[in-house]
Structure 1
Amino acid sequence: MALTVAMAGLSSWVPSLHSLLRSVLPLDGKGVMQNHYEEVFRNVPNAQLQLSFAGTLMELFVDLMGPVFQVLSSRYGIRPVLVLGSLVSVLGLELAGFTTQIWHLYLTQGVLFGAGASLLYVAAMSVPAQWFNKRRGLGLSMVSSGAGVGGVVLPFLVTEMNKKLDSGWTYRILGFVCLAVNVITCLLIKEKYPQQPAAAQQNLREIFDFGILKDTNFLIWVISTMISVMGYFVPFFFLPSYATHLGLSNSDGTSLTAVMAACTCVGRIGIGYISDTIGRINALILGHIVASLAAFLIWVFADNFGVLMAFAVVFGLVCSSYFALMSPITATIVGIDRFPTGLSVLLLTNMIPVFGPTIASAIETRVSSEPYFSYKMFTGVTFMLGAIILIFLKLKMTKAVLSKI
């Protein structure tokens, strides 16, 4: 069991590359790779906007492939899907290193890497759930913490590789790293309940059923996640540029992002441990409320590096509670038999929060307020609204305010 959890955690580190690549191709055009490709495509109209779409497309495919994973794993088992995801994600990164046109990034970084990372991520989050009962929250949070580790290490590596080599070799080296990590994962990860041959004869409706959305509790859970995750992305996208707006250096902005990512790693494990004590939904409600208050009470009043760092630490510790607890909460709501379908549907609906920073940017351009104020409010409101919906879900399921669930 411990080996399977470790390998799943290693595998979950690889999809964190999609978050990294999204952060270096941000909407505000401040990213390392974005700056490089803007220079390469300086004669292309609206190059900045076109380049940012590569990151959006990648996010969409990361969430889109959940149903595909469900179908393939039901027919062929987990390991072949892991191998496929590894090959596709590595191929996407390697080919991205030869980019000469913007649309090349759409196909390589966006479609290929996004699809491969999705297959890896769903496998990493679904297999360990088979091995835990009492400590499922802690076990799965340890797995998801691998993405936090990647978020700390990778930005610095990418920056240095871009300085000393170029973005083409940066992509290729990241591809080699993915290949090495996933070869180990594919060899060692193990299912507790291997797919039975007879199950391969199931039709598509039996393997993946959108009828799960008829479960009112699951539907409420999905709505809550869509709203709260919108707020999760905003600080990661705009905190560095906000630091620059205050007169801080680019390195200060990078440090804030790195600290926030490091805290997500610690926070995911911590929230997993807490969830096994007070209940998983209770822990997520607590995490959402603290994240909301961090935006309202710290980020709103942040006018120097020290206060911004305090926000990065507090927000980082609790903002990714959903990613640590989405698997155990989904299993609690729909049961272990319907868990694979529930997780796939949940990830599919996470396509909507991808546009959270875009929505926040649209609001920012249309309101008359001080710069970045709407980003702070958007973050706080989405997390608080997600918490309120979860409280309603808890009361509906247990009929008690202080119940452990």
Structure 2
Amino acid sequence: MVTMPMAFVVGKFADRYGYRQFIIAGCLTAFLAMLTAAFSTQLWQFFLTQGVLQGACIGLILPVAMSFPAQWFRCRRGLATGIVIAGSSFGGGAGSLMAQQLLNRLGLRYTLIFYSFYHLFLMTLAVFMLQDRPHPHSARFTKAPIQWWDSTLFRKPLFWSVAIATLFVVFGYLPPYFYIQLYTMEKLPDLNPALYAVPAAVMNFSAAAGRTAIGLLADRIGVVNAFFVSVLISGCMQLLFWNFATSFPAIICFSILVGFFGAAFLSMTSVIGAKLFGVQNLATLSGILLLFNMPGNAAGSPLAGAIFSASGGNWHAAITFSGMCSVVGAFCILYARFKMEPRVFAIY
């Protein structure tokens, strides 16, 4: 609930004052959130550190990180953005495996302290690699006042096609990550406990590969086409594969496929924005589109869990809800696709 409104505000300020300082602010906030969580002992303290502070960190970084590659790349924009966003998936996969081992050996407090300084080191390296390249007609050069509400954008059906697509996709994107471990534990109660975390880690590593590979595919077949195909396959994988995966190899195979195809939409959102609306105020547009992620981020997984509970522990109901959200999101983008390029097999 903190991340998306902040991403909207940060997008506006970043287009006006520059990207790099918001990345630095986000990195410092992330370090502070992790370090203070290490010394938290009550629920409200964890709420502030890992809820408010961590949400603020993501809100500071995400719209800028999504927009940075578009400043430097045009022909290979999808690949570049995919590689950048893939880092979050790779870090999530490696982090989940590392955290499990560190928690067993060090406990929660010292694991969080280790992570704080480990992240600070990596983030410091990342900051020194960043360089701004603003568009000549951006608000930074024109010195135009910040326009908080662009009513013309919200009157464009093209915008709503993209916005509603991202809204539905997030509802179908998160449940596999949240529930694959619980699903594995219920379906395979005799499995070695050390293996329960493997599907989620595999899903994250596969997402890193998928964001890069589908970013490359987007440069070849068109970013809107790639968005539609990857999201549709992700939804179908949930409906037709996860619904019937009852063995460990099947669950791992599903994790690879849904991670590969399902996570790519996030890296393509800003590329679609640049394709349809230009790069002059891309951080602003990325921040606005991230607002449409907020309902899915806040309620997608809880809603799937509520459906699971209300159906008496029926996994098919929760999985079908998640998969159908992805399928609906995929078809919502087709208005923008055929509005801009009516030919079925065109690159767009």
Instruction: Give TM class, smaller chain.
Output: over 0.9
Distance 1:77 1:364, change over 3 A: same
Equivalent-residue separation in structure 2 for 1:375 and 1:162 (angstroms): 30
Aligned to 1:378: 321
1:388 aligned residue (331, 339, 344)? 331
Q: Is the 8 A contact 2:200 2:255 kept in 1?
A: yes
1:366 Cα deviation after fit: 2.4
2:28 aligned residue (87, 91, 111)? 87
2:278 aligned residue (320, 335, 355)? 335
Equivalent-residue separation in structure 1 for 2:239 and 2:332 (angstroms): 19
Aligned to 2:287: 344
Q: Is the 8 A contact 1:149 1:261 kept in 2?
A: yes
Equivalences for residues 82-121 of structure 1 within 5 A: 82-121=23-62
Equivalences for residues 6-405 of structure 1 within 5 A: 60-193=1-134, 202-205=144-147, 209=150, 211-246=152-187, 247=189, 248-354=191-297, 355-367=299-311, 371-405=314-348
Q: Is the 8 A contact 2:158 2:335 kept in 1?
A: no
TM-score, normalization: structure 1? Answer: 0.80
Which residue identity is paired with 1:204? I
Distance 1:208 1:69, change over 3 A: farther
Equivalent-residue separation in structure 2 for 1:112 and 1:161 (angstroms): 23
Which residue identity is paired with 1:176? F
Equivalent-residue separation in structure 2 for 1:320 and 1:251 (angstroms): 25
Which residue identity is paired with 1:83? I
Q: Is the 8 A contact 1:231 1:356 kept in 2?
A: yes
1:123 Cα deviation after fit: 2.1
Distance 1:353 1:80, change over 3 A: same
1:212 Cα deviation after fit: 2.2
Q: Which moved more, 1:186-195 or 1:380-389?
A: 186-195
Which residue identity is paired with 1:271? I
Distance 1:329 1:118, change over 3 A: same
Deviations 1:265-306 (A, max 9, x none): 111111011111111111111111211221122111111111
Give the alignment's Cα RMSD to 1 decimal: 2.0
1:211 Cα deviation after fit: 4.4
Q: Which runs of 5+ in 2 are unaligned?
A: none
Equivalent-residue separation in structure 1 for 2:160 and 2:223 (angstroms): 17
1:325 Cα deviation after fit: 0.8
Aligned length: 344
Q: Which moved more, 1:247-256 or 1:130-139?
A: 247-256
Distance 1:67 1:211, change over 3 A: farther
Q: Which runs of 5+ in 1 are unaligned?
A: 1-59
Distance 1:182 1:285, change over 3 A: same
Which residue identity is paired with 2:156? D
Which residue identity is paired with 2:167? M
Distance 1:153 1:208, change over 3 A: farther
Deviations 1:187-210 (A, max 9, x none): 2310122798975954332x6636
What is the SS of the residue equivalent to 2:197? helix
What is the SS of the residue equivalent to 2:174? helix
Equivalent-residue separation in structure 2 for 1:116 and 1:299 (angstroms): 33
1:94 Cα deviation after fit: 0.8
1:236 Cα deviation after fit: 0.8
Aligned to 1:50: none
Q: Which of 1 and 2 has higher RCO (CA within 8 Å, sep 6+)?
A: 2
Equivalent-residue separation in structure 2 for 1:250 and 1:107 (angstroms): 31
Q: Is the 8 A contact 1:243 1:249 kept in 2?
A: no
Deviations 1:19-41 (A, max 9, x none): xxxxxxxxxxxxxxxxxxxxxxx
Which residue identity is paired with 1:292? G
Deviations 1:343-382 (A, max 9, x none): 11011221111110111122222236x6311122012201
Q: Which moved more, 1:316-325 or 1:190-199?
A: 190-199
1:137 Cα deviation after fit: 0.6
Which residue identity is paired with 2:134? Y
Distance 1:214 1:178, change over 3 A: farther
Distance 1:198 1:240, change over 3 A: closer
What is the SS of the residue equivalent to 1:352? helix
